[in-house]
């Protein structure tokens, strides 16, 4: 599992651009920037939709006011689902990074096997602060249905 002080591995996400889906690498997202990255098991799932993401939407300005350049959300969903989730959540100004095949989640060792629930491979729930590609803060939830250690309020206490 990735640790504080580690560099993020190279991976490619998908995002919605003006002409449709486009690729963005970890360098595109994190190089030369201070980014809060939120990992969630799935868009629209109860804990992600009602408990985890809303805190970052609510506290967006406060987080950005602490020298953070961007707040990004990644999930093992396709780019179209993440685009719909961003709109349905009122998450304007947050970056949504589709990790459709769980490549990034696996590369950082934060994948979760949800096959017993019919979900396939997913990402564990976490939040991290990444500075120029290096993990500076990492909060991983022990229980996938909770959003306490990885929530916006917890992250604000250590930013």
Q: Which residues contact 19 (CB under 8 A, 6 or more apart)?
A: none
User: Is residue 1 one of the residues assigned to a domain?
Assistant: no
Percentage of the chain lying above the pLDDT 70 cut: 100
**CATH number of the CATH domain containing 77:** 3.40.30.10
Asked whether the predicted pLDDT for residue 47 surpasses 90, the reply is: no
Query: How many domains does the chain divide into?
Result: 1
Distances (CA, A) of 57 to 43, 78, 134: 14, 21, 24
Is 48 one of the annotated active-site residues of the chain?
yes
Strand partners, 127: 38, 139
User: Is residue 147 one of the residues assigned to a domain?
Assistant: yes
Mean pLDDT to the nearest integer, 18-29: 96
Residue 106: domain span? 6-157
Cα separation, 68 vs 43, in Å, equals 23
Q: Hey, what are 61's tokens?
A: 């300005």
Q: Which residues contact 108 (CB under 8 A, 6 or more apart)?
A: 1, 2, 8, 9
pLDDT of 5 reads 98
Catalytic residue selected from 40, 48, 72, 98:
48
Predicted TM-score (pTM) of this structure: 0.94
């Amino acid at each position: 599992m990735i640790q504080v002080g580690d560099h993020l591995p190279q991976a490619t996400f998908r995002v919605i651009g003006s002409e449709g889906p486009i690729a963005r690498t970890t360098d595109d997202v994190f190089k030369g920037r201070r980014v809060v990255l939120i990992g969630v098991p799935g868009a629209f799932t109860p804990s992600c939709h009602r408990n985890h993401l809303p805190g970052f939407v609510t506290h967006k300005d406060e987080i950005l006011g602490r020298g953070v350049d961007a707040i990004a959300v990644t999930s093992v969903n396709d780019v179209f689902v993440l685009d719909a989730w961003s709109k349905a959540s009122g998450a304007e100004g947050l970056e949504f990074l589709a990790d459709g095949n769980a490549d990034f989640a696996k590369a950082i060792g934060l994948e979760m096997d949800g096959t017993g629930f019919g979900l396939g491979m997913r990402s564990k729930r976490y939040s991290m602060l990444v500075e120029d590609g290096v993990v500076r803060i990492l909060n991983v939830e022990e229980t996938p249905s909770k959003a306490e250690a990885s929530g916006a309020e917890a992250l604000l206490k250590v930013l």
